[in-house]
Amino acid sequence: MSDSRLAEAAHSSFARHETFAPRFGWLHKAYMQVKERPDTFLADDAPVLLGVGKNMANSMRYWSRAFKLTREFYGDDGNSRAMFSYPTWEARWLLDEDGADPYLEEHGSLWLLHWWLLCSRPGAKSWAPSWYVAFQLAPFARFTASDLTQLIVRHVNLSYAEAPVGASIAKDVDCITKMYVPAKRAKGGAPGAFEDLLACPFRELGLMEAVDHPAAGRSEWEFTTGSRISLPDRVVAYACLDYAARTTHGAGSISLARLANEHGAPGRAFRVREPDVAAALERVAATTPGLQVVEAVGQRSLAFTSDPFELAWDVLDAQYDNVRKRPDFPTREEWALAYPKLAEAEAREFKLQDAVEQQLTLIEETQ
């Protein structure tokens, strides 16, 4: 059997960012446009509408989808095979003018987007497989570009029937470091890397840093560890409940060890250890009905008395002064009625997942 299940967690999607890490203002600008015009990214005047060059417009399209702020599906013209972009309810909640944080001024919003980039569930898998491997599957803390590229290539070859060219994965690795490494310590990378770092908000999370190395021309990076001062407790709790909701839809529990260490879990995404996860959950549980950290047979678990997905959003909404209670804020159902293509896009993802399962079976049978 294959020792990688990357295809279950992420779509085969590489180098769609056009070498650009996400920049300040991009996601809000893209959301405001596709809310009115789902064909924005396909329009001839897309660069004018978005105020960027053509390649950057393509990058904005990718990042909007990768952060689960848009879903893509065919337009109303039955003969068209062009994929339009439709804003998700999560995008409405976060990025609208009366949303939680439309200009991403809070660090918590960046941590939330980082989680959305990596998280995966049936019908809403990750569109950033290289990022998923880097944060969720990498067995090392320090690495070179070659190390990470080779690791991603290995997982890709084990997981997908058709693999991308190596250059595409190398571009992903370069983009990962440009996205997360603070500008003041950036080393190497493609031309324009320093400009990208200055413009990319995710470098403020401090998830990665460059490593001083005596060998000339050798660049190394490492994932940082320790307490995440800028990571809100409620965002941690939201991610933990969101992760539990992949397999549980009612009252239940999940061990803190799984939440901290399992592939795909928040602990690996945020690079935080079990004691830090526990401390954050205990603080949130103290003020959240239906949520409790319990211990039994020497194992600590997060227990919840209702659907963890709904509870996750109660916790997250409280972090942003209850956005959902603001006047005229749409429910998920109302948003789905306004954008019926979202449901069709989700159904299409489920069909793609069925095809992936068949491919995985064939791959495993030949190994």
What confidence tens digit (pLDDT) does each residue in 231-275 have?
A: 999 999 999 999 999 989 999 999 999 999 999 999 999 999 999
Copy the structure tokens of residue 43: 């329009």
pLDDT greater than 60 at residue 15: yes
In this prediction, residue 216 has a pLDDT band, given cuts at 50, 70 and 90, of: low
The predicted pLDDT at position 357 comes to 58
In this prediction, residue 198 has a pLDDT band, given cuts at 50, 70 and 90, of: low
Q: What integer is the mean pLDDT of 288-307?
A: 94
The predicted pLDDT at position 360 comes to 53
DSSP-assigned letter for residue 121: B
The predicted pLDDT at position 18 comes to 94
The 10 Å CB-count burial string (b at 16+, else e) for 119-146 is bbeeebbbbbbbbbbbbbbbeeeebbbe
Q: What integer is the mean pLDDT of 304-311?
A: 97
Q: Phi, psi at residue 177, to the nearest 5°?
A: -70, -35
Q: What integer is the mean pLDDT of 24-40?
A: 96
Least confident of 72-81, 131-140, 176-185, 353-362: 353-362
The predicted pLDDT at position 1 comes to 33
* DSSP tally for the chain: helices H, then strands E: 17, 8
pLDDT greater than 50 at residue 197: no
CA distance 180 to 174: 10
CA distance 180 to 242: 24
CA distance 186 to 169: 20
